[in-house]
């Protein structure tokens, strides 16, 4: 029996990048999933890197980590949140990975003496990887990073053009996401760049079926008509998407496009279940809800998206409690200069997220110590656990306690490399990545919040809690509430006699979803809520 044919929806961009291709792809996938279809989604990035692990977050935003340990572009975070679905490494495809495979195949003689070329060899590998990721699903979405016409992205564009011959044109749909600029002087939304972008795509042999036009200013019917006229796409296949309060609103705006796409691909809804999503969006927009103010203490980075998943997890947890969260980015280097820390007094809680390198780390240690002493709810994420351990050790064991990452010569290396416990050496690509089991101790806040004995959470770090200090630190009041399966790695700590002080070696933000916040974030917000209610 032949397997059911997967339908493929390709999402490309024109005019400029960064206008919401990822959100468009995720939103269409969200709608189709809510209609009972089994969907998958994949991002193709034209970088020569093999994964996002080595990309600087200052330039690219957060590195998102999948359960199977792939270091990926932050769009995968959107995908997981919009789909409420775990993705794997096949959802992230970078040019470097493709070229490496082609070169390795050439070296091992797989091409039997043929001339190895971009077309067909590179484009074939791309198509194989797309087809493999889509296999077994009703619909597979593929987003092509960058803008059509970029020199470096052309092999992906050619691959997706050829793909319709591979699987049949009735099984493929192309969505082009473009930008409509606004000219202030004449108060006009212009369509010319969008028209040209469609023409460019046609120049590469792809005729878009659907056009999504992002417009920051309201654009009326005349613009829609004009777009349809010049691009030859029927009105039903075009949507002008304004700038919305929340990205989660986008699926509510493009339902019509999903109808159109399903019609064209001849697929039928199996159910309609968008209610929970609509409710979540309604809560997210409700400005009358009580507010909480959370400080995220991190070193100053220019890219707002560096802590995308942390911010989204805080929002999701707040909405779950019918609250709104105001997130204040606190520059940890500023804290270092300004000690003591009155600046933290106005906050309802502190989050210290993940990070690398020593810049600003003293400010983070100070913030953890302040939260400890002043009984301010604290959530530490990866580095946030390490600085909490350092703060506690400085108070109770040795004033110079540190992580060997920041002071290799420290007398009290409470955070260190644990070579004997698992293969960690200090070179690139050797981090503890992806899902690891965490066994939760009885009678702890962690056990109560997760309501489970064993959970799996995602990792991305090199250093670990140093077991030589377990005894002294537990005597000082630290509760080890989560350990790895072999009991050797400290995964989660908490403090008793504190409204909420929890810190994990893993990254709970990666598994948090709107409508289903991770238990640690949920507990953090709940503790703030109960402090507020008792005031
Ligand atoms: N720099 C720390 C380590 O490598 C923490 C990493 C992180 O926060 N993701 O262990």
pLDDT tens-digit profile of 142-172?
999 999 999 999 999 999 999 999 999 999 9
Out of 383, 424, 459, mutate this one to test ligand 1's pocket (max ligand atoms within 8 Å of CB): namely 383
In a domain, 153, yes or no: yes
Same domain, 434 and 492: yes
Q: Distance between CA atoms of 442 and 503, rounded to whole angstroms?
A: 17
Q: How many domains does the chain have?
A: 2
Q: What is the pLDDT of residues 172-181, one digit of tens each?
A: 999 999 999 9
Which segments within 344-412 are labelled E, that is strand? Answer: 349-352, 378-381, 402-403
pLDDT score recorded for residue 61: 79
Instruction: Answer whether residue 283 is part of any domain.
Output: no
Residues 374 and 243 in one domain: no
Question: How many other C-beta atoms are found inside a 10 Å radius of the C-beta of residue 236?
Answer: 14
Note whether residue 2 is domain-resident: no
Check if 356 has its Cβ closer than 6 Å to any atom of ligand 1. yes
CATH number at 369 reads 3.40.50.880
**pTM of the full predicted structure?**
0.93
Q: Note whether 438 and 393 are same-domain residues.
A: yes
Query: Residue 97 sits in which domain range?
Result: 7-275
Please check whether residue 282 lies inside any domain of the structure: no
Q: How far apart are CA 46 and CA 313, in angstroms?
A: 29
| Alpha carbon nearest to ligand 1 atom 5, residue | 383
* 253-297 confidence digits (pLDDT tens): 999 999 999 999 999 988 888 899 999 999 999 999 999 999 999
Of 382, 457, 459, 494, which residue is the catalytic one? 382
CA of 328 relative to ligand 1 center, distance in Å: 22
Are residues 271 and 295 located together in one domain of the fold?
A: no
Residue 281 covered by a domain? no
Q: Which atom of ligand 1 is nearest to the CA of 464?
A: 10
Same domain for 129 and 244? yes
How far is residue 402's CA from residue 393's CA, in Å, rounded to a whole number? 8
Q: In this structure, which residue's CA is closest to atom 6 in ligand 1? A: 461
For residue 75, being part of any structural domain is answered with yes
Question: 252, 275, 298 — which closes off a domain?
Answer: 275
Best of 463, 508, 510 to mutate for ligand 1, by most ligand atoms within 8 A of CB?
A: 463
Separation between Cα atoms, residue 382 and residue 461, nearest integer Å = 7
380: phi then psi, degrees, rounded to nearest 5: -110, 135
Assess whether pLDDT exceeds 80 at residue 59: no
Ligand 1 centroid–CA 223 distance in Å is 49
Active site residue 382: yes
Residues 194, 58 share a domain:
yes
Is 508 a pocket residue for ligand 1 (Cβ < 6 Å)?
Answer: no
Query: 463-489, pLDDT tens digit by residue?
Result: 999 999 999 999 999 999 999 999 999
Query: Could you say which of 78, 121, 439, 507 is catalytic?
Result: 507
Residue 497 CB partners (closer than 8 Å, separation 6+): 477
Cα of 79 to ligand 1 centre, how many Å? 24
Question: Domain check: are 196 and 233 in the same one?
Answer: yes
> Known catalytic residue: 44?
no
Q: Are residues 93 and 64 in the same domain?
A: yes
Q: Is 40 exposed, middle or buried (0-12, 13-18, 19+ CB in 10 A)?
A: buried
Q: Collapsing DSSP states into helix, strand and coil, what is residue 342?
A: helix
**Cβ of 383 below 6 Å from ligand 1:** yes
Shared domain for 411 and 263, answered yes or no, is no
- Same domain? For 294 and 198 the reply is no
């Amino acid at each position: 029996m032949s397997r059911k044919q997967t339908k493929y929806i390709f999402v490309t961009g024109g005019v400029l990048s960064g206008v919401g291709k990822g959100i468009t792809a995720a939103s269409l996938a969200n709608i189709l999933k809510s209609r009972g279809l089994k969907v998958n989604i994949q991002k193709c990035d034209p970088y020569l890197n093999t994964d996002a692990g080595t990309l600087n977050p200052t330039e690219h935003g957060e590195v998102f980590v999948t359960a199977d340990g792939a270091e990926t572009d932050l769009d995968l975070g959107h995908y997981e949140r919009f789909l409420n679905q775990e993705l794997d490494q096949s959802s992230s495809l970078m040019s470097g990975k493709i070229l490496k495979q082609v070169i390795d195949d050439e070296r091992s003689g797989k091409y039997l003496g043929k001339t190895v070329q971009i077309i067909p060899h590179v484009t074939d590998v791309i198509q194989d990887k797309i087809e493999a990721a889509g296999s077994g699903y009703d619909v597979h979405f593929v987003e092509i990073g960058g803008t059509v016409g970029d020199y470096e992205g052309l092999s992906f564009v050619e691959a997706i053009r050829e793909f319709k011959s591979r699987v049949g044109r009735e099984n493929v749909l192309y969505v082009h996401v473009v930008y409509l600029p606004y000219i202030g002087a004449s108060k006009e939304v212009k369509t010319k760049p969008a028209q040209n972008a469609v023409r460019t795509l046609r120049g590469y042999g792809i005729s878009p079926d659907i056009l999504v036009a992002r417009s920051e200013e309201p654009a009326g019917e005349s613009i829609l008509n004009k777009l349809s006229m010049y691009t030859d796409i029927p009105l039903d296949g075009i949507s002008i998407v304004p700038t919305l309060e929340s990205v989660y609103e986008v699926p509510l705006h493009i339902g019509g496009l999903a109808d159109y796409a399903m019609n064209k691909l001849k697929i039928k809804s199996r159910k309609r279940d968008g209610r929970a999503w609509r409710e979540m969006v309604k809560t997210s927009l409700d400005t009358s809800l009580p507010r909480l103010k959370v400080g995220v203490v991190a070193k100053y980075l220019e890219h707002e998206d560096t802590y995308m998943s942390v911010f989204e997890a805080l929002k999701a947890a707040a909405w779950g409690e019918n609250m709104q969260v105001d997130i204040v980015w606190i520059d940890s280097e500023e804290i270092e200069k300004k000690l003591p820390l009155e600046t933290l007094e106005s906050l309802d809680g502190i989050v210290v997220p993940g990070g690398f390198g020593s810049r600003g780390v003293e400010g983070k240690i100070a913030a953890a110590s302040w939260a400890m002493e002043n009984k301010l709810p604290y959530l530490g994420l990866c580095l946030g656990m390490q600085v909490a351990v350092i703060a506690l050790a400085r108070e109770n064991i040795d004033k110079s306690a540190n992580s060997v990452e920041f002071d290799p010569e420290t007398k009290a290396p409470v955070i260190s490399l644990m070579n004997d416990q698992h293969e960690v050496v200090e070179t690139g690509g050797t981090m503890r990545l992806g899902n690891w089991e965490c066994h939760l101790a009885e009678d702890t806040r962690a056990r109560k919040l997760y309501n489970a004995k064993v959970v799996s959470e995602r990792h991305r770090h090199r250093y670990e809690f140093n077991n030589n200090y377990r005894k002294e630190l537990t005597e000082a009041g630290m509760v080890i509430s989560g350990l790895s399966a072999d009991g050797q790695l400290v995964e989660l700590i908490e403090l008793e006699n504190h409204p909420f002080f929890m810190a994990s070696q893993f990254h709970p933000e990666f598994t948090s979803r709107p409508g289903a916040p991770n238990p640690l974030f949920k507990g953090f917000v709940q503790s703030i809520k109960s402090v507020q209610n008792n005031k």
